[in-house]
Structure 1
Amino acid sequence: MPTRQSPDDDALVRHLMDTTGLAEAEVRRVIGDVLAFHAEPVEAYVRRRHLHLQTYGAKNAEIFPTLAAELTTRVVAAPRLTTRQLRRIIYG
């Protein structure tokens, strides 16, 4: 997955190289991995997490509040979604 790069990335790359001892190529790969992780669309995240929580026995009554809380902590905050909106993402 291509990553977005900006001029500020060079400062971040230098900072991480200085503080971690990683080589530039390793730092750029880690930054790309982090950006790709956080670029997951809200709908994909909700579907993935719902399935994961359901797999471990959670029921919708606990899953939907958990998802709503998790979405508020994402780096790029997702909009607040109601239980109904979350249900529609899962079941259409």
Structure 2
Amino acid sequence: MTHQPADFASASDPKGAQDDMGELVDYLARSSRLTPQEAARLVNEVLAFMSEMPEDFVRRRHLALQAQGLSNRAIYLQISDELAARRFRAPEYSERQLRRIIYG
């Protein structure tokens, strides 16, 4: 069974995205022990992870760091550092802006 390129369609370039992602799925299936279905699922999961918006990332990381017992002050500093290193271009958020994203 082959991968389903429709899963990878992009609104701006559906055919190009399908071709690129289809090639990636094929490559992963050939070069690893993944089946084409597993490779397609992996690519979909990575794309979903990589498309996370900065605000969603801030909320998710706040909950995770809070669960580790960090203080909010430490959390804000760590999130600021992580945002700067992430794959999306996020502005440098102040502590106040981070609180507003988290608490509304």
User: If the TM-score is normalised by the length of the shorter chain, which range does it land in?
Assistant: 0.7 to 0.9
Q: Which has the higher contact order (CA 8 A, sep 6+)?
A: 1
**Percentage identity across aligned positions?**
42
Task: Provide Cα deviations, 1:12-43, integer angstroms capped at 9, x if missing partner.
Answer: 12221222132211111110011112222221
Aligned-residue CA RMSD (Å): 2.0
The aligned residue for residue 71 of structure 2 is: 59
* CA distance in 2 between partners of 1:79 and 1:31 (Å): 27
Give distance in 2, aligned partners of 1:64 and 1:83: 6
Q: State which of 39, 43, 57 in structure 2 corresponds to 1:45.
A: 57
1:33-71 Cα deviation digits (max 9, x unpaired)? 111122222212211211221122211211111001111
1:12 corresponds in structure 2 to 24
Distance 1:71 1:4, change over 3 A: farther
1:71 to 79, 83, 93: 83
What residue ranges of structure 1 are gaps of 5+ in the alignment?
none
Deviation at 1:75, TM superposition (A): 2.6
TM-score w.r.t. structure 1 length? 0.80
| Runs of 4+ that moved beyond 4 A | none
Aligned length: 91
**Bigger Rg over Cα:** 2
